[in-house]
Amino acid sequence: MLANRPNATREQSMLTDAATSGRPQPALTGTELATSTTIKRPNVMNKIPGDSAGPDRGRAPGFSDLDSLLSQKGPIGSGTAIRMPSDPLYEYDSADLEPGAMTELQKLATLIKRNPGARFTIEGHSDSFGSAEYNLDLSQRRADSVARYLVDGLGINPAQVQTRGYGTSKLLVPPRPINSADPVAVENEIERQRPNRRVVVVVNTGR
């Protein structure tokens, strides 16, 4: 059973208060965005589109998609990187899987079962909002939750699955300086960094 979703944290509320109080706030540099100790998102952005580990549907450059891999004949190639094309895999700022993730994870399980000699590394990645330590932990927990569901819920051999959280170390979209007191600017930057919030599955066939 999926865990209940936590409410917004105290730190998120504090960030929201800062953004709506009218008090001047300094602009954040790209480095500060990546290392800030403030929590992931202001609460006003709790349900923005794309606030997830998965991007819009469709194949992203440099990545394969599950549907194409399932339709092809023969073994999957080593080094294949699958970017999960689901609607949000996770609740906002959470490692709990959303019900909408189940269909894509069932497809992934089918692919894994078709390739019993391959190992699949589930990589978690985050955007630059929040501290590096927080994002590293969140990305690892998200990868672990995918692996746990594959093994416990879908019967995947645990020897075929491993996980790794990368946090902000492999950003596809570099952060830009923003005014943290401007909710619109924050929203736009969160949306711009959508590709950074992702789960990637990398295949290793040992060949």
Q: What are 61-91's pLDDT values in tens digits? A: 578 889 999 999 888 899 999 998 545 687 7
**Residue 48 has what pLDDT?**
35
Lowest model confidence (mean pLDDT) among 2-6, 91-95, 102-106: 2-6
pLDDT-based confidence at residue 4 (cuts at 50, 70, 90): very low
Nearest to 162 by CA among 121, 123, 125: 121
Question: Mind listing the domains of the chain with CATH numbers?
Answer: 11-20+28-204 (3.30.1330.60)
What is the distance between the alpha carbons of residues 66 and 12, in angstroms, rounded to a whole number? 35
**Residue 159 has what pLDDT?**
98
Q: CB–CB of 205/117 below 8 Å?
A: yes
pLDDT-based confidence at residue 40 (cuts at 50, 70, 90): very low
Which position has the higher pLDDT, 119 or 91? Answer: 119
Q: CB–CB of 45/190 below 8 Å?
A: yes
State whether residue 97 is helix, strand or coil: strand
**Residue 86 has what pLDDT?**
44
Task: State the pTM of this model.
Answer: 0.70
Greatest distance between any 2 Cα atoms in the chain: 61
Q: CB–CB of 186/178 below 8 Å?
A: yes
What is the distance between the alpha carbons of residues 154 and 11, in angstroms, rounded to a whole number? 36
What is the distance between the alpha carbons of residues 129 and 167, in angstroms, rounded to a whole number? 10
Q: CB–CB of 121/147 below 8 Å?
A: no
